[in-house]
Amino acid sequence: MSLAEPETQKALDTTESNAELLATRKAHFLPTAVHYYKEPLHLVRAKGSLVYDEKGREYLDVIGGIVCISAGHNHPKIQERMIEMIQNDEIQHTTTLYLNRFATRLADKLADEAPAGLDKVAFSNSGSEANEMALLAARNATGETTVINIQHSYHGGTQGTLAHCGHHSWRFRAQPVAHNVAVIAPNCYRCPFKKDPKNCHLECAQHVEETIQTTTHGKIAAFIAEPILGVGGFITPPVEYFQKVAEITHKYGGKYISDEVQTGAGRLGKTYLATKSLGIDADIITMAKGFGNGAAAGAVVMRNEIAEALAGKFHFNTFAGDPFQAMQALTTMEIIEEERLIENAHEIGEYVKNGLVELQKRHPLIGDVRGRGLLLGIELVKDRETKEYATAETNQLMELMKDRNVLIGKGGLFGNVVRLAPALSITRQQADQLLKALDESLGVIEKG
């Protein structure tokens, strides 16, 4: 089956203006639903790394939805399979109460990509749910409640995951708390131990052991961490940190949960799961976002003994692993393999990172460039000595980039970190477009 080229640049015949959409949204959405840009964009079409607003204006999407687009927007292989399934009247809703070839194949493929020993899989509709299952499984297997999390981390918006959230701005008053203890973030740019990463002694990892010894009864359920702290502003801990912390976690009886909701699906440019290439001795890995290439699909992969400890109880998630979700995640995995997108993430990631380091030489606003593969962060500071957060400047940069048809993300507790996470299929030419727009926009801000 072949699909006609979509007329991406054609204006969409919408009945409401953007002003009307915004007014209705303000009337009915919760005040927690914020939007990017003074005048929010209305994106209606997409292809690869490009997205289009209702008027047909084209933008380069360098944040991939919200770190969700791995194989590229509207990949033809996924489109074709979706159309085929619909035309064949394939069942849209079925659950784990029945057999489902897509979910089964997906579990098999995921187990192949996971580090040795992790081969039991559960699906979910989101990253939050995947982490809920991971936390439940770790607590159940150990019989312990305490979970160690990292300050500035984010693991989801549900009650359980929010208890392990390292941002006051995401936590709510009177929220029931699960037992957790937060450790200092391994942030080399703002090292809390005032060390230089080149000659430190991983004081940040030692601090994890000290925290367990001084704030718990000496046993923990889990340590949960992202390989790169996404919402926290792409804080990129040294590789040795993970290895050391996994040892500590196991020493105190805990399970290591590697939250790959943002870093998974090949984004870090080495292996499908970054946990593997970073050599993290994880017991449970969670993923979502790029896993389904934008479909509401998440997953947890865990060791058999942790899964076995759940036996005898029911756990059910109505929509998890439904045929359409599972097909999209499975096809995304195939595309990543066939189109060598992990290699591309590595190659273009290095190219962009080098370009950013060059920009840093000319633009005093750039305090730090970090990340791996195609998960790259630029921390903006008002002054390189004081490292004062350049929050307003980051907002201004977002607007200036939008004026230049490039969409970027931002993050960090103080909203001063630019987040770049394009489709893994982004081209060198598009990378040049990004770097040029950044160069120009930073120049405009610096001129005042």
Binding site for ligand PMP (CB under 6 A): 126-128, 131, 154-157, 226, 230-231, 259, 261-262, 288
Tokens 């033809």, located at residue: 76
Q: What's at 206, amino acid-wise? A: Q
Query: In terms of CB distance, is 375 or 381 closer to ligand PMP?
Result: 375
Query: In terms of CB distance, is 237 or 355 closer to ligand PMP?
Result: 237
Q: How far apart are CA 67 and CA 110, in angstroms?
A: 20
What the block records as the tokens of 296 is 């509401």
Query: In terms of CB distance, is 50 or 68 closer to ligand PMP?
Result: 68
Query: In terms of CB distance, is 128 or 425 closer to ligand PMP?
Result: 128
Which 3 state secondary structure label does DSSP give 3? coil
Least CB distance from residue 124 to ligand PMP, whole Å?
9
Query: In terms of CB distance, is 127 or 355 closer to ligand PMP?
Result: 127
Least CB distance from residue 432 to ligand PMP, whole Å?
28
Q: How far apart are CA 110 and CA 273, in angstroms?
A: 9
What the block records as the tokens of 237 is 């801990």
Least CB distance from residue 115 to ligand PMP, whole Å?
18
User: CA nearest 129: which of 283, 310, 330, 296?
Assistant: 296
Least CB distance from residue 10 to ligand PMP, whole Å?
31
Which 3 state secondary structure label does DSSP give 223? strand
Q: Where are the beta strands (DSSP E) in 282-342?
A: 284-287, 298-303
Least CB distance from residue 297 to ligand PMP, whole Å?
10
Least CB distance from residue 2 to ligand PMP, whole Å?
33
Least CB distance from residue 412 to ligand PMP, whole Å?
13
CB 420 within 8 A of CB 428: no
Cβ count within 10 A of residue 270: 18
Query: In terms of CB distance, is 33 or 99 closer to ligand PMP?
Result: 33
Least CB distance from residue 187 to ligand PMP, whole Å?
16
Query: In terms of CB distance, is 78 or 299 closer to ligand PMP?
Result: 299
CB crowding 193-216: b at 16 or more within 10 Å, else e: eeeeeeebebebbebbbebbeeeb
Q: How far apart are CA 43 and CA 66, in angstroms?
A: 13
User: CA nearest 124: which of 116, 115, 134?
Assistant: 134
Instruction: Encode 180-211 in three state secondary structure.
Output: EEEECCCCHHHCCCCCCHHHCCCHHHHHHHHH
Query: In terms of CB distance, is 72 or 292 closer to ligand PMP?
Result: 292
